[in-house]
């Protein structure tokens, strides 16, 4: 029985590459002839991945146009490519494969081939053809870990006898074994490249791993580098990693990711030491780069119903050195067919993380609004203070106190309201992209008991539940089915007992596209919206990415608003449309055009929506 020990490395491939570069760069006496154009054809093997590897390893292909050569160098290039092909074939388990290469129908060992190439005319180009006889694909025989490791480590190799002897899988086992040892508390664990023993007569490959575990260790002293405006005491209090805990890469990564999430740092690197300290612990250094303290952003959107929406905001990301945020926001809206006059909003928001306890945020908001809609005119001052609690990576709860002083004109009648509310919410979000989600679920339950004191004194409760989900059809993020729904109801008063801005309305990009903003639902005799006490809406949208950064969408929205009734009891309306997307680094630029499937009297024939980010 003949056995061959094969190191699983890329040294041979690299040496071949150097040889070709040297041959092309240095040349030879035979290179004095003019370069000979040529074509390359690699015969398909029936394995798409193998074909891609063969094409990717070929300098005949990669240098075909950029570095043409004469007969001698072309022959050497083809001969070295044959060696690369053999390496690629063995990486896929074909250790008995043979490669046959011809140039102009002549084998590479033809001593006259360089002269034949140099004597040939430039047109037509000389054909270079490589074909492959794969032979049997070798299987994995024995898998051995030759040095002592904990009993549960071997299962992480994910290699078993009978599997195809693919180099990528075997080397992947090396990485998995290293990761498993480090996750088990061995920070200095190393796994050298495995030794493969070939059994040609059995078409088998035995694999032996010889890991070096090193000692188990705890986390040692933790250093923080790069802090400027941030208080070190806050960072250390926030840090999830502590000296004396058992070393695991997962714990270090969790701490790194958590520091990144507070919004102050542009880069957070966790760097474990390469050796244990005198106490047998592993020091860890967090290298932190703070983002610029201040930022200004601008936003623009347009829709035919609400017109141009211009927003600007100024942010202080670290007001007092503990990641507190101050956000100043201004918005202006004008030109839409659902607006009577231009409107504005100015506001300020203060956020304090880890208020009283970890993962609890204090939020304080102050906003002033003036808007003139077809439904009503509103001038209002709104205040809110809330505690936002992160319950888990996906769940967030909030409870607060809100106030609103407003003057509203509807149908020529002016009413003044003082509203005091207790907003509460429970939210779930498993998506990973705010502006372009391709998978996951978003859901929210909002409940706000409110007392109205002013022109009328009423108490009511507004509750709504909303959700959206995203189905990645082919698991590549290019074909997505997006669904959303909303159900809401106001209890305790009738529709005219609710301030107009607290009623439910449908129509517009957030509910039913194709209908003018707020126009679905009960109306006054002059066809101006009344609003309602209940709402139900739903959307189906197909998003298809095409041609790299472009995409198209098709959608249908349905919805209804009922006056003094429960959800689902009003007159349903539907809108449908198509859209285009251009995908950028910050998110997709969106253009949607929608039409009403049951046009309202006096309503529009279509609506257009432009913005950044998907519709939902």
Please, which pLDDT band fits residue 21 given cuts at 50, 70 and 90? Answer: very low
DSSP state of 328: E
pLDDT exceeds cutoff 90 at 9? no
Compute the half-sphere exposure of residue 129: CA atoms within 13 Å on the CB side of its CA. 9
| pLDDT recorded at residue 5 | 42
> E strands within 430-503?
440-454, 458-472, 479-491
Tokens 């801005």 correspond to 501
Give the DSSP letter string of 459-475.
Answer: EEEEEEEEEEEEEETTS
Of residues 570 and 542, the one with the higher pLDDT is 542
Residues 6+ apart with CB under 8 A from 585: none
CA 567/CA 532 separation, integer angstroms: 10
CA 577/CA 591 separation, integer angstroms: 11
Q: Which of 189, 210, 208, 207 is nearest to 147 (CA)?
A: 210
Which H, E and C letters describe 336-359, residue by residue? Answer: CCCEEEEEEEEEEEEEECCCCCCC
CA distances from 430 to 394, 439, 517 (A): 6, 8, 30
pLDDT exceeds cutoff 80 at 562? yes
| pLDDT recorded at residue 436 | 97
| pLDDT recorded at residue 570 | 87
| pLDDT recorded at residue 457 | 82
| pLDDT recorded at residue 28 | 39
pLDDT in tens, 369-390: 999 999 999 999 999 999 999 9
Average pLDDT over residues 496-522: 96
pLDDT in tens, 578-605: 999 999 999 999 999 999 999 999 999 9
Phi, psi of 267 (to 5 degrees): -140, 130
pLDDT exceeds cutoff 60 at 22? no
Reduce the DSSP state of residue 525 to 3 states and report it.
coil
Terminal-residue alpha carbon distance, the chain: 66
CA 613/CA 587 separation, integer angstroms: 5
pLDDT in tens, 380-418: 999 999 999 999 999 999 999 999 999 999 999 999 999
Q: Which of 463, 457, 391, 373 is nearest to 429 (CA)?
A: 391
| pLDDT recorded at residue 34 | 86
CA distances from 163 to 46, 152, 354 (A): 19, 21, 51
| pLDDT recorded at residue 564 | 86
| pLDDT recorded at residue 402 | 98
Average pLDDT of the chain?
A: 93
Parallel/antiparallel/unpaired status of strands 607-612 and 588-596:
antiparallel
DSSP state of 138: P
Q: Which of 249, 255, 253 is nearest to 235 (CA)?
A: 255
pLDDT exceeds cutoff 80 at 421? yes
pLDDT exceeds cutoff 70 at 25? no
DSSP state of 201: T
DSSP state of 588: E
CA 274/CA 25 separation, integer angstroms: 40
pLDDT in tens, 292-348: 999 999 999 999 999 999 999 999 999 999 999 999 999 999 999 999 999 999 999
| pLDDT recorded at residue 418 | 96
pLDDT exceeds cutoff 90 at 188? yes
Please, which pLDDT band fits residue 184 given cuts at 50, 70 and 90? Answer: very high
14 burial type by CB count under 10 A (0-12 exposed, 13-18 middle, 19+ buried): exposed
DSSP state of 230: S
| pLDDT recorded at residue 230 | 97
CA 521/CA 504 separation, integer angstroms: 9
Residues 6+ apart with CB under 8 A from 434: 587, 613
- Other beta carbons less than 10 A from residue 6's beta carbon: 14
Percentage above 90 pLDDT, the chain: 92
Q: Is the four-CA dihedral 41, 45, 51, 54 of positive or negative sign? A: negative
| pLDDT recorded at residue 18 | 31
The predicted model scores a pTM of: 0.80
Q: Which of 575, 587, 473 is nearest to 520 (CA)?
A: 575
CB contact at 8 A, 247 and 187: yes
- For 386-404, give one letter per residue: b (16+ CB within 10 A) or e: bbbeeeeeeebebebebeb
Of residues 566 and 225, the one with the higher pLDDT is 225
CA 81/CA 129 separation, integer angstroms: 11
Work out the widest C-alpha separation in the chain, in whole angstroms: 105
Please, which pLDDT band fits residue 455 given cuts at 50, 70 and 90? Answer: low
- DSSP element (H, E) containing 46: none
Weakest-pLDDT range from 29-33, 60-64, 204-208, 262-266: 29-33
Residues 6+ apart with CB under 8 A from 492: 458, 459, 460, 461
Over the Cα atoms of the chain, what is R_g? 34
pLDDT in tens, 189-209: 999 999 999 999 999 999 999
Which domains does the chain possess? 4-133 (no CATH), 139-209 (3.10.20), 218-290 (3.10.20.310), 294-612 (2.40.160.50)
Weakest-pLDDT range from 174-178, 258-262, 565-569: 565-569
| pLDDT recorded at residue 453 | 84
Average pLDDT over residues 116-125: 92
CA 159/CA 177 separation, integer angstroms: 11
Reduce the DSSP state of residue 305 to 3 states and report it.
coil
Residue 77, both tokens: 């290039």
CB contact at 8 A, 30 and 77: no
């Amino acid at each position: 029985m003949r056995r061959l020990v094969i190191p699983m490395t890329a040294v041979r491939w690299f040496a071949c590459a150097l040889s070709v570069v040297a041959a092309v760069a240095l040349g030879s006496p035979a290179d004095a002839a003019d370069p000979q154009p040529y074509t390359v054809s690699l015969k398909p093997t029936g394995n798409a991945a193998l074909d891609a590897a063969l094409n990717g390893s070929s300098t005949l292909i990669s240098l075909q146009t950029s570095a043409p050569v004469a007969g001698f160098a072309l022959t050497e290039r083809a001969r070295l490519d044959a060696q690369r092909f053999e390496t690629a074939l063995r990486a896929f388990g074909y250790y008995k494969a043979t490669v046959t290469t011809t140039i102009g129908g002549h084998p590479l060992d033809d001593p006259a081939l360089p002269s034949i190439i140099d004597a040939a005319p430039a047109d037509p180009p000389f054909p270079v053809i490589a074909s492959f006889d794969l032979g049997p694909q070798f299987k994995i025989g024995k898998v051995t870990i030759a040095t002592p490791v904990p009993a549960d480590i071997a299962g992480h190799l994910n290699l078993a006898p009978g599997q195809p002897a693919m180099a990528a899988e075997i080397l992947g086992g090396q990485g998995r074994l290293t990761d498993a040892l480090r996750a088990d508390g061995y920070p200095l664990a190393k796994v050298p490249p495995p030794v493969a023993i070939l059994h040609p007569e059995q078409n088998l490959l035995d694999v032996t791993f010889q890991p070096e575990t090193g000692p188990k260790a705890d986390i040692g002293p933790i250093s923080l580098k790069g802090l400027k405006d941030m208080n070190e005491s806050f960072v250390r209090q926030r840090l999830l990693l502590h000296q004396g805990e058992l070393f695991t890469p997962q714990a270090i990564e969790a701490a790194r990711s958590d520091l990144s999430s507070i919004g102050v740092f542009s880069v957070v690197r966790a760097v474990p030491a390469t050796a244990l300290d005198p106490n047998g612990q592993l020091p860890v250094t967090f290298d932190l780069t703070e983002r610029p303290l201040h930022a200004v952003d601008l936003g623009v959107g347009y829709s035919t119903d609400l017109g141009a929406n211009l927003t600007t905001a100024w942010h202080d990301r670290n007001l007092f050195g503990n990641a507190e945020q101050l956000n100043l926001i201004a918005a202006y809206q004008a030109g839409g067919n659902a607006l009577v006059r231009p409107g504005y909003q100015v506001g300020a928001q203060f956020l304090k993380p880890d208020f009283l306890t970890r993962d609890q945020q204090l939020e304080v908001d102050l906003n002033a609004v003036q808007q003139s809609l077809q439904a009503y005119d509103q001038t209002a001052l709104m205040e809110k203070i809330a505690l936002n609690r992160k319950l888990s990576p996906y769940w967030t709860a909030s409870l607060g106190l809100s106030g609103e002083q407003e003057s509203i004109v509807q149908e020529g009648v002016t009413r003044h309201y003082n509203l005091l509310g207790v907003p509460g919410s429970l939210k779930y979000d498993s998506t990973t992209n705010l502006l372009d989600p391709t998978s996951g679920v978003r859901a929210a339950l909002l409940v706000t008991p409110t007392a109205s004191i002013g022109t009328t004194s009423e108490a009511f409760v507004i509750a709504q539940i909303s959700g959206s989900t995203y189905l990645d059809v082919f698991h590549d993020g290019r074909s997505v089915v997006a669904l959303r729904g909303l159900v809401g109801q106001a209890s305790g008063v009738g529709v005219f007992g609710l301030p107009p801005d607290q009623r439910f309305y449908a129509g517009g990009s957030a509910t039913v596209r194709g209908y003018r903003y707020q126009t679905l639902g009960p109306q006054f005799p002059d066809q101006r919206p009344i609003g309602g006490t209940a709402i139900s809406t739903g959307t189906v949208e197909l998003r298809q990415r095409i041609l790299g950064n472009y995409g198209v969408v098709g959608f249908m929205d349905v919805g209804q608003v009922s006056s003094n009734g429960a959800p689902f009891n009003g007159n349903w309306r539907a809108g449908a449309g198509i859209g285009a997307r251009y995908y950028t680094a910050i998110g997709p630029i969106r253009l949607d055009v929608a039409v009403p499937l049951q046009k309202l009297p006096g309503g529009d024939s279509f609506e257009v929506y432009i913005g950044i980010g998907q519709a939902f």
